[in-house]
C-alpha cells in the first residue's frame, strides 16, 4: 500500500472524501458513488470519523473493505475526543493490522452535550505523536484557511498548525472558496519555516439551500459567490445554480493548481456527479490522477 507522503513527493495528488454510511440506504448510495469514482483512479480516498465506538467501527469497516474489494488507497480519519490514550492506540494498531497505513489525525469536536474535556488527548498534535510512536503511518492533519473556529486569533491558529505540521507529513484544508485564503495559509506556514504539502479542500456549492449549512460547517460562502448563484437561480432555476457552482469550483481548482498547489481534495458528501463534472472540466484523465 502506498503512503500519501510518497505520492505527494512524486507530484500532484487528486483525492476524494467520504463518510461511513449509517443505514442501508446510505450504504447503497456510497457503493454506487465508489463504483462511479473508482475509474477516475484517485491518488487516495479519505474516510471520516465522528468519534465514539460506533463511528470507530464504521470507519474501520469501510477502509478495510476498500482495501479488500477496490483498487482505492484509503486514508482513515481518527479523532481524539471521547477516547482514552489506550483506546486510540488500539484503533491505530487495528488499522495497521487491516493494512491501513494512511491516517488523518484530528482533535475532533465533542458531541452536543458531551464534556468538552472528554478524552485524554485534547489536540491533534498529541495524536500525531501517538501515531508516530506506534509507527507505520503516513500522517496528515487538518488546516483551516480562515482559522479554526476555536482559535483565539489567526496568528495563534497558524502557530498551532505549524507545530503539528512539523510532526506530520501533510495537511488537508477545510473547504474554502477563494484562492487567496489558501495562498495566505501557505505563506503563513512558510514564514514559520514549514513547507510541507497542504492539499486544498474543495466543495462545490450546488444549491442555495446548502449555503447556510456550509457556514455552520466552518466555511461561509462569500457574498460575491452567493450573488452569482442567486443570479443563476433567477435566470435558470436549480439546475443553473448547480452549473454555476460547479463552474466556480472548477475556476478555484484552476487557480490553485496554477499557483502550485500540490493537489486537490474533493469533499464528495458521498455523491459523485459534481466531482466527476469538475474532473472533466479540468481535463483530468485517469492517467493524470494516479498521483
Q: Which residues are catalytic?
A: 17
Residue 72 near residue 45, CB atoms below 8 Å: yes
φ/ψ (deg, to 5) at 46: -115, 150
- Strands 170-175 and 102-106, by their bridges, are unpaired
Return the C-alpha cell found at 255: 487557480
State the burial class of residue 240 (Cβ atoms within 10 Å of its Cβ: 0-12, 13-18, 19+): middle
**Coil, strand or helix: which one is 42?**
coil
Rounded to 5 degrees, what angle do the CA atoms 54, 58, 59 make? 115
Max intra-chain CA distance, the chain: 57
d(CA 141, CA 125): 8
For residue 156, the number of C-alpha atoms closer than 13 Å in the C-beta half-sphere is 6
φ/ψ (deg, to 5) at 130: -65, -45
Return the C-alpha cell found at 112: 452536543
Amino acid at each position: 500500500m502506498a503512503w500519501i507522503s510518497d505520492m505527494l513527493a512524486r507530484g500532484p495528488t487528486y483525492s476524494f472524501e467520504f463518510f461511513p454510511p449509517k443505514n442501508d440506504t446510505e450504504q447503497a448510495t456510497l457503493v454506487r458513488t465508489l463504483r462511479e469514482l473508482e475509474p477516475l483512479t484517485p491518488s487516495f480516498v479519505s474516510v471520516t470519523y465522528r468519534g465514539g465506538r460506533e463511528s470507530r467501527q464504521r470507519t474501520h469497516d469501510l477502509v478495510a473493505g476498500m482495501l479488500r474489494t477496490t483498487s482505492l488507497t484509503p486514508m482513515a480519519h481518527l479523532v481524539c475526543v471521547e477516547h482514552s490514550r489506550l483506546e486510540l492506540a488500539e484503533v491505530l494498531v487495528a488499522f495497521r493490522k487491516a493494512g491501513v497505513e494512511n491516517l488523518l489525525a484530528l482533535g475532533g469536536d465533542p458531541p452536543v452535550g458531551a464534556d468538552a474535556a472528554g478524552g485524554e488527548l485534547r489536540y491533534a498534535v498529541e495524536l500525531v505523536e501517538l501515531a508516530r510512536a506506534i509507527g507505520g503511518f503516513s500522517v496528515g492533519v487538518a488546516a483551516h484557511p480562515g482559522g479554526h473556529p476555536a482559535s483565539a486569533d489567526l496568528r495563534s491558529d497558524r502557530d498551532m498548525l505549524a507545530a503539528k505540521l512539523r510532526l506530520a507529513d501533510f495537511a488537508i484544508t477545510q473547504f474554502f472558496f477563494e484562492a487567496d485564503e489558501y495562498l495566505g495559509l501557505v505563506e503563513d506556514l512558510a514564514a514559520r519555516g514549514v513547507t510541507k504539502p497542504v492539499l486544498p479542500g474543495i466543495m462545490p456549492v450546488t444549491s442555495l439551500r446548502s449555503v447556510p449549512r456550509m457556514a455552520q460547517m466552518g466555511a461561509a460562502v462569500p457574498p460575491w459567490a452567493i450573488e452569482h448563484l442567486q443570479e443563476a437561480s433567477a435566470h435558470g432555476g436549480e439546475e443553473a445554480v448547480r452549473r454555476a457552482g460547479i463552474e466556480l469550483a472548477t475556476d478555484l481548482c484552476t487557480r490553485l493548481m496554477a499557483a502550485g498547489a500540490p493537489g486537490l481534495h474533493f469533499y464528495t458528501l458521498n455523491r459523485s456527479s459534481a466531482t466527476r463534472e469538475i474532473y472533466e472540466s479540468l481535463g483530468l484523465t485517469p492517467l493524470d490522477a494516479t498521483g
